[in-house]
Amino acid sequence: MKITHGKSLIPKNKRLVHTLKGFESSNILKVLYFKSEKILVIEFHKQGKFTGRYKYKDVSYQRFLMLGKAESKGKYFNSKIRGRYETTKMS
């Protein structure tokens, strides 16, 4: 698992975005973290098909890092993130 840092064109104010890359998950496709806003964005998939993108508010950077280090991203998400943060389904 590798964490990369880069500038995002979305949102428009070019906030620093951290991205988890180089992992396999049967449920999680992509993970983005907006550190200054403490926002975690997770894209989900099932059998290779995109199923949704969700935004989680007030997630600590430490929680993001622990998700990245977890052996099973899905299990970590279900036990430490799902249902614990204000969540918005994105388009």
- pLDDT recorded at residue 52: 95
Indicate if the pLDDT at residue 3 is higher than 70: no
pLDDT at site 6: 44
Structure token digits, residue 59:
């997630």
Give per-residue pLDDT as tens, 9-66.
445 555 678 988 888 899 999 999 999 999 999 999 998 899 999 999 999 999 999 9
Q: What is the pLDDT of residues 67-80, one digit of tens each?
A: 999 999 999 999 99
Closest CA to 30 of 17, 45, 12: 45
- Please, what's the b/e burial string for 4-22 (b: 16 or more CB within 10 A of its CB; e: otherwise)? eeeeeeeeeeeeebbbbee
For residue 25, which of 43, 3, 38 has the smallest C-alpha distance? 43
